[in-house]
Amino acid sequence: MTVVPVRIQRWGVALAVALCALASPAGASDRVARALLDALRANGTIDAAQYEDLNRLVEDEAAAEAASPPVGAAPAAKEQPGALQLFWKDGIRMESADGAFKLKLGGRLQNDWGVIEPDSDLRDALDDEAGQGSGTDWRRVRLQLSGSMYERIGTKIEIDFAGGDAQLRDAFLELLKLPYAGTFRVGHFKEPLSLDQLTSDSYTMFIERSVMDAFAPGRNTGFMVQNAPLEQRMTWAFGAFRETDDASGNGFSDDATYNLTGRVTGLPWYESEGERLLHLGVSASQRFRDGTSARFRSRPEVRLGAPNYADTGSIPADDLQLVTPELALVYGPFSFQAEYTHAFVQADHGSEDADFYGLYAMASWFLTGESRPYKTGEGIFDRVAPAENFDFHGGLGAWEVALRYSRLDLDDGDVDGGTLDDGTIGLNWYLNPNVRTSFNYVLGHLDDVGVVNSFVARFQVDF
């Protein structure tokens, strides 16, 4: 039988006991180990020096255990200010903890269905090309990516696939938070003219904008400075643009087709976070044509299958000016909006100068009590969020009824483009902030020609 020295035996026993104690459940191991060491010291199994050595070992193991996560637990994440957090806020969003980086992935689908019935007089006048029929159309199929980086740089890219081909809509770069200037933008985007035009088509009161939209310049490529001073009770924007292809944003020629466009808005009355407000504004544009042509035309507030009933054709022009005053009122569930645009055309090649105009007035009422949201930083209307989303447990969503009258007069001087009057009745059902169904009845009247009745429905999701 092998004899183990007493000193080695005592150390082995002490270490074995201590290790067993350290294997006890967290929080109890150090207490058990200390109790065992005290007992070993008391009966003489270990001396004072060994007791101190083993005590330090227990303390070290206890400290290491406290610093380590429990077995099977995920390691604690380190603070990373630049890491992006993914979340949903009316769209897919990503944002860093310090707010320096923000991204939004969004899109929209708009599927229209309609029936268009021109009368016989209109069909005869337009050689049976008055757009009679029924069908469906993908009005917009868009994807977009927007956001900001390093707190000072903003960008947006939006592509439309509705026609089967990819077409550029917004594509721009911004410098943010500039002293006095606010934001400087360069790229392809809408010129700042008209409240109805600048409000997103996802948030407009009706399926299509009014016939006055014939004067809206839409998107071109250029530079713009904009700001919202006086605690966003005022907005202003001014830009210089080059006429470009709407599908690509490109443009190059020896024609001096450049535009200067600006807009100013104010909120003389703003209460209850926009539930009651009065919006006033004016926008204007100087459009240099240098002998190239100008043209204005419009459908009867229906895009599906309808031709342009009013059309000036190409007008040789040296210069062109647009002036558009704006008015909007929100009073709880009631809202009213109206605009007027006057176009002054200085003709070229001996043609007679011409003046044209367009206008609309529209009102809506939320049957479920919501108010039409307003974006103070841009002076436009925003996304409707129902007080309660639609569900099968009593949630109704938001219901809105609307009425509009609009007029476009393209008759003046040598130009006989026609005068088109439209009346539209609308019903909007917002199932939630991202899903909307709209129904419009449009009665269009082309002066001295005939009338057209149109019934249109839109099924929309945007995020």
145: which 2 tokens?
Answer: 């990516």
Query: For the segment 310-336, what is each residue's pLDDT rounded down to a tens digit?
Result: 999 999 999 999 999 999 999 999 999
Measured torsion, CA atoms of residues 10, 16, 18, 19, in degrees rounded to the nearest 10: 160
pLDDT above 50 for 75:
no
Give the whole-angstrom CA distance, residue 216 versus residue 195.
Answer: 10
Average pLDDT, the chain: 89
Query: For the segment 154-178, what is each residue's pLDDT rounded down to a tens digit?
Result: 999 999 999 889 999 999 999 999 9
> Where is 188: in which H helix or E strand?
strand 182-190
Residue 6: what pLDDT?
A: 46
The residues facing 428 across adjacent strands are 400, 438
Query: For the segment 84-130, what is each residue's pLDDT rounded down to a tens digit?
Result: 899 999 899 999 999 999 999 999 999 999 999 999 999 988 876 77
What is the percent of the chain with per-residue pLDDT over 90, rounded to a whole number?
71
pLDDT band at 52 (very low <50, low <70, confident <90, very high): confident
Residue 348: what pLDDT?
A: 84
Residue 82: what pLDDT?
A: 67
Residue 25: what pLDDT?
A: 53
Per-residue burial over 121-156, b = 16 or more CB atoms within 10 Å of its CB, e = otherwise: ebbebbeeebbbeeeebebbbbebebbbeeeeebbb
Range scoring the smallest mean pLDDT among 14-18, 181-185, 350-354: 14-18
pLDDT above 60 for 7:
no
The residue whose two tokens read 């240098």 is 290
Q: Which residue has the higher pLDDT, 132 or 2?
A: 132
